[in-house]
Amino acid sequence: MSAHDNQTGFATKAIHFGYDAQQEGGALNPPLHLSSTYTFASAEEGGQLFSGEKSGHFYSRISNPTLDILEQRIASLEGAEAGLSAASGMGAITSVFWTLLEAGDEVLADKTLYGCTYAFLQHGLSKFGIQITFVDMTDITAVKAAISKRTKVIYYETPANPNMRIMDIRAISQLAKSANIISIVDNTYSTPLITQPIALGADIVIHSATKYLGGHGDLVAGLLVGSADLIHRIRMEGLKDMTGACMSPFTAMLIMRGLKTLELRMQRHSESALTVSEFLLAHDVVETVYYPGLVSHPQHTLASKQMSLYGGMIAFELHGGINTGKAFMDALGLIQRAVSLGDAESLIQHPASMTHSAYTPEQRHKHGISDSLIRLSVGLESVEDIINDLAQALAQIKNKQVA
Ligand SMILES: *Cc1c(COP(=O)(O)O)cnc(C)c1O
């Protein structure tokens, strides 16, 4: 097996791909290259590196040997030609959009997006003469009808944060391809273990590596993959000149450590989340549970087709609305009240007042984010402890409602 063997299994690639210890004095883990700049053998060579005539590193905002390994590794896990690292998920997202768009273009986006992505499109990009159109992408006919001559990019998350709607990657990719539109999937919720959008026809896949890829709540980072051409453009335009949002080599090291256990962690997250969602569904204080692994999820069949597991994220609503929801969250002991997701610790938050507060109440209603929705990131604790905590908090709520 070589450092660039793409025939190995997912976990093997997550642990080994892109690194050969024998090239680094036998060091089991890749070295950290803490160098902002790189020396040229001659003035001539410096010019060749800058013009692209010769490949190599010249400044760490553009590339770095430690980041190289991570970028190759995420590309291999996603089944893509090339990868790129960024300082945050938002750094990755903005670097992509600034590269691909110009005034007069249109972005077609799903109606439910992570709050800051929504804010960037709705309040940021739209100031620069770019038309942003939101559409319910669970409805393929609606997507088709919304495509115009100006549509340059189609953008969505699946499952969508926070309401767990599932988009049909294959169908949307086909529509995009036939109209010469670049389609971009935010794969943060699923990770490449569960869904590989490139194989289903997507052009670019984006991650907030802050979440499951890092997996330990100790970093903020972004990653993206796509064709070598597209990634080169995003590196040399969006990342280098427009956002400057490059990743630190320290962060790359932590993500590579996280990736080693990605398969194990996602299996456990998914197994526990199914158990927790079944528990919630059966509880009489709980009104609705949104989890793609439940047969009651409206897109359970599609989810089963394009996801190998159902992931660790759940959304649900309680009878009594948001005030009940807040009292419930305050009654929890083990489960931590915090935004972010994908950590070992179970995390709970209220999208309307927290992650998705960039939407006005009217926009939230229109975009399918109810005020009473609660988002739970099921962690890696013993599942009976997670359930016991939920059970005691729900019991407190129920007692109050009866009293
Ligand atoms: C967190 C998140 C982002 C933003 O990533 P950061 O690393 O926080 O910048 C983008 N998309 C989704 C789906 C997220 O959950």
Q: Which amino acid is at 267?
A: Q
The answer to whether 204 and 186 are in contact (CB under 8 A) is no
Pick the residue whose CA is nearest to atom 12 on ligand 1.
114
Whether the bond into 162 is cis, omega within 30 of 0 = yes
CA distance 126 to 144: 22
Report the alpha-carbon angle 157-159-363, nearest 5: 65
Helix (H) or strand (E) holding 365: helix 361-366
The ligand 1 site (C-beta within 6 Å) comprises 88-90, 114, 116-117, 157, 161, 186, 188, 208, 210-211, 220, 222
Q: Whose CA is nearest to atom 9 of ligand 1?
A: 89
Give the angle 195-68-14 at the CA atoms, nearest 5°: 40
Coil/strand/helix, residue 225: strand
Q: Please tell me the CATH code under which domain 10-259 is placed.
A: 3.40.640.10
Q: Ligand 1: distance of its center to the CA of 220 in Å?
A: 9
Residue-level pLDDT, tens digit, the chain, 403 residues:
688 888 899 999 999 999 999 999 999 999 999 999 999 999 999 999 999 999 999 999 999 999 999 999 999 999 999 999 999 999 999 999 999 999 999 999 999 999 999 999 999 999 999 999 999 999 999 999 999 999 999 999 999 999 999 999 999 999 999 999 999 999 999 999 999 999 999 999 999 999 999 999 999 999 999 999 999 999 999 999 999 999 999 999 999 999 999 999 999 999 999 999 999 999 999 999 999 999 999 999 999 999 999 999 999 999 988 889 999 999 999 999 999 999 999 999 999 889 888 888 899 988 888 889 999 999 999 999 999 999 999 999 988 877 6
Report, as residue numbers or ranges, the catalytic residues.
Answer: 61, 114, 186, 211
Q: What would be the CATH architecture of the domain defined by 262-402?
A: Alpha-Beta Complex (3.90)
Q: Nearest residue CA, atom 5 of ligand 1?
A: 89
What whole-number distance in Å separates Cα of residue 41 and Cα of residue 54? Answer: 12
d(CA 272, CA 39): 50
CA of 206 to the centre of ligand 1 (A): 9
CA 51 to chain centroid, in Å, comes to: 33
